Structure 1
Amino acid sequence: MADIRLEGVGHSYDGGRTWALRPMTWTWRSGRAYALLGPSGCGKTTLLNIISGLLSPTVGRVWFDDRDVTGVPTAGRNIAQVFQFPVLYEEMSVYNNLAFPLRNRRYPAAEVDQRVRRVAQLLGLEEHLRRRSRRLDPGRQQIVSLGRGLVRSQVAAVLLDEPLTVVDPAMKWTLRSKLKEIHRDTGHTLIYVTHDQTEALTFADEVVVLNQGAIMQAGEPSELFLSPAHEFVGHFIGSPGMNVLPAELVDGVVRVGDAPVGRAVGQAAGKAAGEAAGELPPGPVRIGVRPEFVRLDGGVAGLAARVTGVDRMGAYNLVHARVNGHTLIAKTDASAAFEPGASQSLRFAEGRAFLFRDAVRCGVIEPLDGRGEA
């Protein structure tokens, strides 16, 4: 295992006219489980292929601990990589497919058998070990392919490029928990590429959010959800994503139309709620607040809102409301009764409504009186 350090690494497929991966400096710490999360085309696979050596970066250096591996081919990096679709020897049995990476590196026969059976047990492949791989369905073949990547005990990292794409949805929950179990068992550095926020948030110790070839934010799943540093992170993570409401900052007070919402406290994107960073200059801002932290009631305090619709989701409701010409969504208890057309008062949970400028978080809203909800 090794720390994997990217030093000014970037990649362009057209000679530098556009960047598929914008130059970045980043370190993947040894032994941690990472999810690399972002939409299709954001640069996730490009980044993974640079780490594995399948692709040489246009600029920058790649280090494994203190070893510069930028020019080292994949075979010399001691990396295990699992691709989106199964890569197997179809005429081999499942057992022999799992054993192949170990035999190829001359592991002792007893250790080969022990590791193959351990991985087979964790992935639910025990009863299939004698079957030829080509006789398995595509989802099961991908699980074998996943096992091939995880069976080795000494690798710099295991890279997983959307490995559950062809796996039956009912099995994905089980496999994600199995991956976490294997990670605890082996201590491998895992980098798991996905566009599925559920996969990322349930699997990883740390989630790295990528968009348009750049890292938007990285942190624990709870940090990304509760304290988004960029509007994109707020939109991409959460279902539904973060509400955004245009506002104006005047004399330190955030206003939506003529209505005061709360007091603005400057806060750098890297700081958590409660860590103040000074005053913000006046001018336009955008309020970002998740549906979970929007409060609706019939009282007079708060922003005037009109209910436009209710989505009943079973365990909860999503209430759509218009505020100053813009739509916000509130996530409410399933028993809460809101009817389209009804007038409501809308407030934000304290410390959970953030201010953004140029899509980057710059502050947080606090109550005008210093207590209660904004």
Structure 2
Amino acid sequence: MAEIAIDNLRHSYDNDLSDPSRLALKRVDLTWKNGSAYALLGPSGCGKTSMLNIISGLVRQTTGRVLFNGNDVTDLPTEARNIAQVFQFPVLYDTMTVEQNLAFPLRNRGEDKATIRRRVGEVAEMLDLVPLLKKRAAGLGAADKQKISLGRGLVREDVAAILFDEPLTVIDPHVKFELRRKLKLVHDALNLTLIYVTHDQSEALTLADEVVVMSDGEVMQVGTPQDLYERPKHRFVGNFIGSPGMNFIPCTLEGERLVFAGGALAAPNWLGPRLKPDQKLAIGVRPQALCVAGAGEEAVAGRIVEAQLRGDSYIADVAIGETLVKMRLPDHVALPTDVFGVHFPPRSTLVFADDRLLGDLHEQD
């Protein structure tokens, strides 16, 4: 097992750090706790795979350090880092059997036959590969091949961490759930540090203890799935997490009110002292947090423009004056056909300044 630390790391594939727009990774300082499961989540090209390959040693960062358990491994080659890496496309020997593929890393290191037999058996049992041990890899499906690739990484007993680079991208959707479940079970059983790269938020939020959200070479937020959903620290995170993403409504602070096109809400008393001159404000609120106002609740007038049924709820486009927001409404309740009161629950209604979270409407000084 390993605690992995990234210290003051920046990377450019042409080694030119003078132009920030050309950096694959801007300054990153991050610690991956020993034995925890992490997801690296973000859109294509945001730096996820670069980060993974720097950790494994496949890529040498331009500046900064990589530390395993406090030891600087920046100058160590990949094979000396005791890292297993599973790629998007399985790396196997198709002419070998499943058993031979699993045994290959151990034979390559000169392990004795008894150890090889024991470890192959243990890993095959863990990954449900026992019935396939005598079959050649060439004849197997993509899901089984990816399990073999995972097994090749796990078969060594000295593996400190396992890195996944979008391993389920080529897997049929109906098989993905089972493989995600298996990965979670393997992690829990072995207590390895696990880092999983994906652009799929459902994979990240179901598999990981903590999620690292990246955009344009920067780490935007690290937190539990609940943290990211309920308290995004940056507008990008609020947009990227959730389907649909968080509503953002530009507003201004006028006296004790947050005023926007179509309405106003009571401003928290902490907001004025925290604001800097010329900062741009926005209210952020999740579609399912918005609700039809009850008696005595603060509300602004809204009108449903369009609604689509998704599963057990409607996603409604609601016009609040000139502002359009999305609301998630239950399918067992009749949708309002006229103007109605839209309630913004204070604990779930966030205030952002220049795209960064300041707090919520419920907070006090």
Alignment TM-score > 0.5, same fold: yes
Report the counterpart of residue 311 of structure 2 in structure 1.
314
Report the counterpart of residue 226 of structure 2 in structure 1.
222
Per-residue Cα deviation, 1:19-57 (whole angstroms, up to 9, x for no partner): 110021111111111101000000000000111111111
Report the counterpart of residue 10 of structure 1 in structure 2.
10
Q: Which residue of the other structure, out of 287, 294, 307, is the alignment partner of 2:290?
A: 294
Distance 2:31 2:256 in 1: 38
Distance 1:171 1:258 in 2: 47
1:330 corresponds to 2:334: no
Give the C-alpha shift of residue 258 in structure 1: 6.8
Superposition RMSD on alpha carbons, in Å?
2.2
Distance 2:112 2:273 in 1: 62
For the Cα contact (< 8 Å) 1:33–1:190, is it kept in 2?
A: yes
Give the C-alpha shift of residue 281 in structure 1: 5.7
- For residues 184 and 109 of structure 1, do their structure 2 counterparts lie closer, same or farther at Cα, with a shift above 3 Å needed? farther
Q: Which residue identity lines up with residue 8 of structure 2 in the other structure? A: G
1:207-218 → structure 2 map (5 Å cutoff)? 207-218=211-222
Distance 2:12 2:189 in 1: 38
Distance 2:243 2:111 in 1: 46
Give the C-alpha shift of residue 173 in structure 1: 0.9
When structure 1 is superposed on structure 2, of 106-115 and 22-31 the one drifting more is: 106-115
Report the counterpart of residue 353 of structure 1 in structure 2.
349
Give the C-alpha shift of residue 71 in structure 1: 1.7
Q: Which residue identity lines up with residue 225 of structure 2 in the other structure? A: P
- For residues 122 and 171 of structure 1, do their structure 2 counterparts lie closer, same or farther at Cα, with a shift above 3 Å needed? farther
Distance 2:354 2:345 in 1: 24
For the Cα contact (< 8 Å) 2:262–2:320, is it kept in 1?
A: no
For the Cα contact (< 8 Å) 1:4–1:62, is it kept in 2?
A: yes
- SS class of match (2:169): coil
Q: Which residue identity lines up with residue 3 of structure 2 in the other structure? A: D
1:122 corresponds to 2:126: yes
Per-residue Cα deviation, 1:43-80 (whole angstroms, up to 9, x for no partner): 00000011111111111111112322112111111111
Q: Which residue of the other structure, out of 131, 156, 161, is the alignment partner of 1:157?
A: 161
Unaligned runs of 5+ in 2: none
Distance 1:265 1:232 in 2: 26
- SS class of match (1:146): helix
Instruction: Report how many aligned residue pairs link the two structures.
Output: 358
- SS class of match (1:310): strand
For the Cα contact (< 8 Å) 2:221–2:234, is it kept in 1?
A: yes
When structure 1 is superposed on structure 2, of 126-135 and 297-306 the one drifting more is: 297-306
Distance 2:312 2:10 in 1: 44
Distance 1:278 1:130 in 2: 70
Q: Which residue identity lines up with residue 160 of structure 2 in the other structure? A: A
Give the C-alpha shift of residue 284 in structure 1: 4.3
Distance 2:101 2:144 in 1: 13
- SS class of match (1:155): coil
Report the counterpart of residue 171 of structure 2 in structure 1.
167
When structure 1 is superposed on structure 2, of 119-128 and 303-312 the one drifting more is: 119-128
1:258-277 → structure 2 map (5 Å cutoff)? 259-264=263-268, 266=270
For the Cα contact (< 8 Å) 1:23–1:59, is it kept in 2?
A: no
For the Cα contact (< 8 Å) 1:266–1:362, is it kept in 2?
A: no
Q: Which residue of the other structure, out of 71, 75, 81, is the alignment partner of 1:71?
A: 75
Distance 1:49 1:31 in 2: 19
Per-residue Cα deviation, 1:90-118 (whole angstroms, up to 9, x for no partner): 11101111122223234443343333233
When structure 1 is superposed on structure 2, of 128-137 and 108-117 the one drifting more is: 108-117
Q: Which residue identity lines up with residue 311 of structure 2 in the other structure? A: G
- For residues 191 and 265 of structure 1, do their structure 2 counterparts lie closer, same or farther at Cα, with a shift above 3 Å needed? farther
- For residues 125 and 265 of structure 1, do their structure 2 counterparts lie closer, same or farther at Cα, with a shift above 3 Å needed? farther
When structure 1 is superposed on structure 2, of 199-208 and 345-354 the one drifting more is: 345-354
Alignment identity in percent? Answer: 45
TM-score, normalisation: structure 2: 0.92
- For residues 265 and 186 of structure 1, do their structure 2 counterparts lie closer, same or farther at Cα, with a shift above 3 Å needed? farther
1:203 corresponds to 2:207: yes
Q: Which residue of the other structure, out of 59, 64, 67, is the alignment partner of 2:63?
A: 59
- For residues 220 and 126 of structure 1, do their structure 2 counterparts lie closer, same or farther at Cα, with a shift above 3 Å needed? same
When structure 1 is superposed on structure 2, of 257-266 and 227-236 the one drifting more is: 257-266
TM-score, normalisation: structure 1: 0.90
For the Cα contact (< 8 Å) 2:261–2:323, is it kept in 1?
A: no
Q: Which residue identity lines up with residue 169 of structure 2 in the other structure? A: T
Q: Which residue identity lines up with residue 74 of structure 2 in the other structure? A: T
Give the C-alpha shift of residue 342 in structure 1: 2.7
Give the C-alpha shift of residue 124 in structure 1: 2.7
Distance 2:230 2:111 in 1: 46
For the Cα contact (< 8 Å) 2:262–2:322, is it kept in 1?
A: no
- SS class of match (1:100): helix
For the Cα contact (< 8 Å) 1:90–1:133, is it kept in 2?
A: yes
